[in-house]
Amino acid sequence: MAVIAEKCPQIEVTIVDVNPQRIAAWNDENLDNLPIYEPGLKEVVAEARGRNLFFSTDVEGAIRSGDIIFISVNTPTKTYGVGKGMAADLKYIELCARQIAAVATTNKIIVEKSTLPVRTAQAIKTILENGESSGINKPQFQILSNPEFLAEGTAIQDLHHPDRVLIGGDQSPEGLKAIETLTDIYAHWVPRERILQTNIWSSELSKLTANAFLAQRISSINSISALCEKTGADVDEIAKAIGTDSRIGPKFLKASVGFGGSCFQKDILNLVYLCRHFNLPEVADYWEQVIKLNDYQKQRFSKQIIDSLFNTVSGKKITFLGWAFKKDTNDTRESAAIYVAWQLLQDKAEIHVYDPKVSKEQMLKDLDYLAEQNLEFSLIKDQLFSNLIVHNDPYAAMHSAHAIALLTEWDEFKTYDWQAIYNNMLKPAFLFDGRNILDIVKLSKVGFEIKSIGKS
């Protein structure tokens, strides 16, 4: 929304949230206190805030005055009841729709921005059409699907130069008009041929499909990484060799400890759930395997650490470099680091973590969430968590460690004085590069026992 405000100064954009602390943080004079860390974001907010970009807690006022309302609430995976662990929890979407129905007095375009299972628009429509503001002056609603394809860490760049913008809507005259209205907004900075217009169901399902295909590429190369380690092949060389085939292309072929982030796992599980719902078990199993392979990759990484450290990590100091799910973000959702830490903590390791952007509170919250799903460990979790030590200084974090595990590809890790780090570690000094960003040959010469993904 900040980018829309930046690119369209004549359009007033108001962002509302029920959480006053969050809105206060967005209004903070010090732009380093914005709630989300994203390169380039503070510059965009600095330009538009107070001009035509506003942050407020007056949800009802904004609904009443808005012509277009973007619903951008979260849709986490359900943790209870039918579809537990797979289906998207649409509770917040429903609450938004009900609030709009209760408050709106004029016609509006409602845009689904959150990633949603296909056919959610129908539910929103039903709620809006049966709202309290019925009667003679009942407002009319058009529902559009406009999924977001930005990736975190490169969000502003992705928004300024999107490969495409997707807008789905009803194919009725009113629906087509609403699609045009939203198209005109993006056309302020996106070439029209990159703005794709579809029916609403195609748009909803395209987002899940795009994420499933991207995640599938990572799971595919990660499956080959396991085979490389057995055969002497090098997964980075393979990625390069196949990526130069223009039909395959070079992107999303970086082997890793596993993908994380708020989208991939959630969206694929959602897709799997939809397929089961529509009685397509073979299709569901096909996509579910992408997730299973990702879980396997995380377990394989933890197991390799334990195996290498002579089958026990109990009482050993293992340092994690990175906790975020990728570089240039403070987001940790579904980060591989959480799962690897959890496995090693269960094996009684002492985990020391350094991440340039993630707080200790967040790390504990992430682990707590996992622990809550495992009754046996939820009972002893406080004891386990006392073995998680968070550092602000990476060198202190690695001092006297038995092993280092690199979990996030932060650029600064490549610039460290690895000789000094090696000198201060216990020997043999192990280094597990879960992102394949370090120079193995150079670091082996320094003295490290180094293991990368997909290299033997």
In the set 261, 322, 356, 434, which binds ligand UDX (CB under 6 A)?
261
Instruction: Check residue 296 for interaction with ligand UDX (CB under 6 A).
Output: no
In the set 252, 286, 296, 385, which binds ligand UDX (CB under 6 A)?
252
Rounded to the nearest 10°, the torsion over CA 92, 361, 304, 232 is 70
Which of 211, 62, 85 lies closest to 148, judged by CA?
211
Nearest distance, CB of residue 117 and ligand UDX, angstroms:
15
Q: Which of 96, 263, 298, 451 is catalytic?
A: 263
Nearer to ligand UDX, 14 or 302 (CB): 302
Instruction: Check residue 6 for interaction with ligand UDX (CB under 6 A).
Output: no
Instruction: Check residue 256 for interaction with ligand UDX (CB under 6 A).
Output: yes
Instruction: Check residue 218 for interaction with ligand UDX (CB under 6 A).
Output: yes
In the set 112, 152, 204, 236, which binds ligand UDX (CB under 6 A)?
152
Q: Is 207 a catalytic residue?
A: yes
Q: Which of 6, 38, 112, 148 is catalytic?
A: 148
Nearest distance, CB of residue 7 and ligand UDX, angstroms:
19
Instruction: Check residue 150 for interaction with ligand UDX (CB under 6 A).
Output: yes
Nearer to ligand UDX, 264 or 339 (CB): 264
List binders of ligand UDX among 312-371 (CB under 6 A). 325-326
Instruction: Check residue 253 for interaction with ligand UDX (CB under 6 A).
Output: yes
Binding part of the chain for ligand UDX, among 15-23, 196-204, 242-250, 261-269 by CB under 6 A, reads 261-269
Q: Is 94 a catalytic residue?
A: no
Nearest distance, CB of residue 415 and ligand UDX, angstroms:
20
Q: Which of 108, 207, 317, 326 is catalytic?
A: 207
In the set 108, 254, 402, 451, which binds ligand UDX (CB under 6 A)?
254
Q: CB of 162 within 8 A of CB of 190?
A: yes
Q: Is 148 a catalytic residue?
A: yes
Query: Site residues (CB under 6 A) for ligand UDX?
Result: 148-152, 211, 214, 218, 252-254, 256, 259-261, 263-264, 325-326
Active site residues: 148, 207, 263
